[in-house]
Amino acid sequence: MSEVDAIDRVDDPVTVSSLVSDLRELGVSAGDTLVVHSSLSSLGWVAGGPQAVVDALQTVLTDSGTLVMQTHTGQYSDPAVWENPPVPDHWVPQIRNEMPPFRPEVTPTRGMGTIPECFRNYPGVVRSDHPVYSAAAWGAEAEGIVADHSIDHGLGETSPLARAYDRDADVLHLGTGYSTNTSIHLAEYRADFDKEYTTSSAPLLRDGERVVVEYDDLETSTDDFEELGADFEAEVGVTEGVVGAATCKLMDQPELVDFAVDWFEANR
């Protein structure tokens, strides 16, 4: 969406104060633990762009709350299976050998949007150290949420998603759909159905040295996440409202994950 399109979507500029008002009306409150999936373009024209969105979220949650965003880095997945875009086969060994090590403090996100990329650089934000599936967090429970993120099974039981679940988090779709809702991946790990696992590797920084570490992971899929989400809304329900120009949904993360576990066991 172009900036002209974003301007055309709103009568007035979206601002920090208007975002704060919209988020509070939706049901986001001080002290909440909130996992956010976002699309800046869906909000209309925002004065300050992603910075305004992060400022608004922090203002509403306050220091007593916790803000969590996924900060995935798909550039550290196996280059042999890249599709967006694919690379020539003869490039793969050189990419593997020359890719700089993943560093939570500096490695940029990929494909996550401008809001998480902005958020990861904010003062007081901490980031987990998984080379592909990291998450960033700010606030009262931030350190506990990102701590001890195992390189194996990066969206499973040692992930920030599981730590957020343990803290009765909410999930906010800020102009996004269920296909981006990574909490449903946690349900993939927990549900009992036939699964496939893969072994991958990525370069990390250990004691100041670049090392390549192998790790095991579940073969995940988002193909049925939208169908699952529609069933969740019909059977359990979410809070829906408008933030900026975007239709947004607020839901209980443990309810969603528990529902998804049962849904996968019945439908996969």
Measured distance CA(154)–CA(185) in Å, rounded: 10
Instruction: Judge if pTM exceeds 0.85.
Output: yes
Sheet holding 246-252, edge to edge: 126-127, 135-139, 66-70, 33-38, 170-174, 246-252, 239-243
Question: Which residues, in sequence order, are CB contacts of 29 under 8 Å at separation 6+?
Answer: 60, 61, 65
Q: Please say whether the beta carbons of 43 and 245 come within 8 A.
A: yes
Measured distance CA(85)–CA(72) in Å, rounded: 17
Tell whether the torsion through CA atoms of 184, 190, 196 and 202 is positive or negative. Answer: positive
Measured distance CA(120)–CA(73) in Å, rounded: 12
pLDDT tens for the chain, 268 residues long, are 688 888 888 989 999 999 999 999 999 999 999 999 999 999 999 999 999 999 999 999 999 999 999 999 999 999 998 998 999 999 999 999 999 999 999 999 999 999 999 999 999 999 999 999 999 999 999 999 999 999 999 999 999 999 999 999 999 999 999 999 999 999 999 999 999 999 999 999 999 999 999 999 999 999 999 999 999 999 999 999 999 999 999 999 999 999 999 999 999 9
Q: What residue has token string 């004065």? A: 47
Give the other-Cβ count within 10 Å of 255's Cβ: 16
